[in-house]
């Protein structure tokens, strides 16, 4: 009964034209991780919004695979809290869990402030130039109003910091826990001035690293990561159907 009641709130499936076409799967790689990455990207970008039903049979047809890789990909997404599986009934994209998003913010803040303090205390050759190029790409994407590209470059900026600090596995750990936070950020991104604020925060982080100032880098990162969680209620007011009560 509980599952059936939950499914009354499911959003209609986005039309196929609204979704990016799934890529041709690489033969040299397992299918399940590729299906997982595509579905996760569609969920985080909100191309598959909260409540969207996911048919295993339809996904298997779209990807041209058996049901096994689809099942494995959905199980991994369920572990990350991005889908809900109702046994013998349906699978759907989960609504955004604000408590999980807050915990992800705590984790990200703990890791990323330490990363930038480490990099500011011992600057890495070439990092300043790499971040400058990222800032230039973000500025161009924002000017073109390419929010999907802007969000991807935002993520690449943070990944570059983890790689420079020699802890890329911690980025993957944080990413796996950040699905709800990342969806909140995508909901917040179209707000007036949000893209400019992100760009300004990134510039401040890069400047603090260039100046080899750990305290300034820490402060800039804290300010940057707090931007979305401080506006949860404004986001909820705009899309209450996307967030858990």
List the domain boundaries for the chain: 2-93, 98-242
Q: pLDDT tens digits, residue range 139-152? A: 999 999 999 999 99
pLDDT band at 228 (very low <50, low <70, confident <90, very high): very high
Q: pLDDT tens digits, residue range 159-196? A: 999 999 999 999 999 999 999 999 999 999 999 999 99
Question: pLDDT at position 180, please?
Answer: 97
CATH of region 2-93, choose from 1.10.10.10, 3.10.300.10, 3.40.50.300, 3.40.47.10: 1.10.10.10
- 2-10: list long-range contacts, CB under 8 Å, 24+ apart: 3/86, 3/87, 3/89, 3/90, 4/89, 6/84, 6/86, 7/53, 7/86, 7/89, 7/90, 7/92, 9/51, 9/95, 9/241, 10/51, 10/52, 10/53, 10/90, 10/92
Question: pTM (2 decimals)?
Answer: 0.87
State the fold for domain 98-242: 1.20.120
Q: pLDDT tens digits, residue range 11-53? A: 444 544 345 677 778 787 889 999 999 999 999 999 999 999 9
């Amino acid at each position: 009964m509980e599952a059936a009641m939950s499914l009354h709130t499911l959003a209609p499936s986005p039309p196929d034209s609204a979704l990016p076409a799934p890529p041709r799967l690489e033969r040299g790689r397992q299918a399940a991780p590729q299906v997982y990455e595509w579905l996760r990207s569609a969920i985080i970008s909100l191309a598959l919004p909260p409540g969207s039903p996911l048919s295993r049979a339809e996904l298997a047809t779209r990807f041209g695979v058996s049901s096994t890789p689809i099942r494995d990909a959905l199980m991994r997404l369920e572990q990350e809290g991005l889908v809900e599986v109702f046994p013998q009934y349906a699978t759907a994209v989960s609504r955004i869990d604000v408590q999980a998003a807050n915990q992800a913010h705590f984790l990200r803040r703990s890791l990323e402030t330490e990363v930038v303090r480490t990099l500011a205390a011992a600057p890495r050759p070439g990092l300043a130039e790499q971040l400058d190029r990222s800032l230039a790409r973000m500025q161009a994407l924002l000017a073109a109003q390419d929010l999907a590209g802007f969000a991807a470059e935002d993520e690449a900026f943070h990944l570059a910091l983890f790689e420079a600090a020699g802890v890329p596995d911690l980025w993957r750990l944080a990413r796996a826990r950040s699905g709800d936070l990342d969806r909140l950020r995508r909901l917040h991104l179209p707000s007036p001035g949000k893209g400019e604020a992100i760009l300004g925060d990134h510039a401040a982080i890069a400047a603090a690293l260039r100046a080899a100032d750990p305290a300034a880098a820490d402060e800039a990162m804290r300010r940057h990561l707090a931007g979305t969680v401080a506006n949860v209620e404004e986001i909820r007011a705009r899309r209450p159907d996307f967030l858990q009560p």
